[in-house]
Amino acid sequence: MLFNTIEFIIFFTLVVGIITVVRYKNFQHVLLLGASYFFFFFSSNYLIGLLIFSTLLDYYIGKEIWKAKSIKRKKILLITSLTGNLGLLGFFKYADFAILQFNFLGSTFNFANEIPILNIILPIGISFYTFQTISYTVDIYRGILKPSKTLREFALFVAFFPQLVAGPIVRAKDFLPQLREKLENARDNASLRLILVEDSKLKFGITLMAFGFLKKMFFADNIAPLVNEIFSSPLGEESFTIILGAIAFGIQIYGDFSGYSDIAIGAAMVLGFKFPVNFNKPYFATSPSDFWRRWHISLSSWLRDYLYIPLGGNKKSQGRTYLNLGIVMFLGGLWHGASWNFVIWGLLHGSYLALHKFILDKVPVLKNNLFFKTKIGKIISIIITQYLVFLTWIAFRVQDYESLMYSMEKYVLIDFATEKTIEIISTNKFAVFLIGLFFFLHFISYRNPNLVEKISGFKLSYWFIFLLSTVLLILFFYSGNPEDFIYFQF
């Protein structure tokens, strides 16, 4: 069920409406769990069995880890959890990719018969809920989280529908206390105040959802045709055309993914849950490390806490630190999909992070250099960082190897021809206008970090005008066919 469909609007309205009217103890909990399973089944049918398997596996293993007396038994149980989760993820996401690589090697060296491709269907959201359940068992193993009190409680944590399909990646230590607080309120509060749908959060959540729909349906979906025109067959295109395509795709994927995150976080807020921010003006990042503090924050923090730090982080030698950064971003790229494109994307970001740290290590005076704190210094840092970031988006978007190498070469070695670029701009004026408008609004939101909060604080009449204007703007430019979210494929 796509967020950008009338089916979701009806579904979400019904869930909120029923919770608002019916206030029996634990009813909201049961309804949200049932609604979440319905939401997933609507999109994935029988593949809901994988979600249930992950839920049962980590619920019971989590309990056993907590009860285990010896470190050895705890480790065995944790390895069992990791094997089950990563084995499931690996099979459904990477089996066909592995077969293709094996067949390629076999044909190259003529040492094996070709293995038939399995054509496995990728379960929607498996990368996200797998990481959520892994964090649960690891946190119990580390002793920083107690196991969930009931299976129903844990099942809702895993399946909660707003962020189930494409994040943000929520951790049990953040979600479960909020759920328990809602249930305690349900037991102790006999007034007519809403239990899960809290008035103070309602306007903020709806406002954030409106921003999400605007990013996805107005910006991302209307910029997509320009991206498709450039990168469907980039061979022979000019450098400025490739650069335009890279910038356009960077905005498209930001509007698409951060739009989904805003809708998910806003929907959770309407239901009374606070989720962590997943994007924070990433195209104003002043360094590669700053970019990853702003982009897909729930994933980057997950990789830091459950992969980078266990590998040694920056606590060992400088060389090991650079290697750890490369390994983390390599696996982060591979997490996005079974393709060499994502590996290249991850390795590029890993090399940026390692090179940035290497420079700061070798020239420590740069860490506190006053020039980079000036307006000109920040602008230069932003331009350099974003030039490198948009280069990586080419690897994320262009699948064909020859086209990828050509596009990246044209991006780096600029040929300064403009004839074809001007022609593409002239036939895609609206998309180019949206690119300019996006950067203008991105700058406004950068200068006003509490913009959503300010708008949600408008008087009711002005707030309704904002919502109505957003709806009309989206509908006026809506093609009539809801576009998939890019991160659904991950």
Catalytic residues: 336
Buried b (16+ CB within 10 A) or exposed e, 430-465: ebbebbeebeeebeebeeeeeebeebbeeeeeebee
* DSSP annotation of 110: T
The answer to whether residues 195 and 28 touch, using CB atoms and an 8 Å cutoff, is yes
Backbone φ and ψ of 314, nearest 5°: -110, 25
How many residues would you count in the chain? Answer: 490
Token reading at 165: 């399909």
C-alpha distances (whole Å) from 483 to each of 2, 3, 217, 397, 470 are: 9, 10, 8, 16, 18
Token reading at 303: 């990789």
C-alpha distances (whole Å) from 167 to each of 159, 178, 298, 302 are: 11, 18, 8, 12
Quote the CA–CA distance of 135 and 155 in Å, as a whole number.
Answer: 15
| List of residues 6+ apart from 25 with CB closer than 8 A | 183, 186, 187
DSSP string, 306-325: IIITTTTTTSS-HHHHHHHH
The answer to whether residues 157 and 175 touch, using CB atoms and an 8 Å cutoff, is yes
Reference 333, options 395, 421, 289, 402; nearest CA is 395
Quote the CA–CA distance of 472 and 258 in Å, as a whole number.
Answer: 21
| List of residues 6+ apart from 36 with CB closer than 8 A | 156, 159, 160, 161, 164
How many CA atoms does the CB half-sphere of 176 hold within 13 Å?
A: 18
The answer to whether residues 4 and 217 touch, using CB atoms and an 8 Å cutoff, is yes
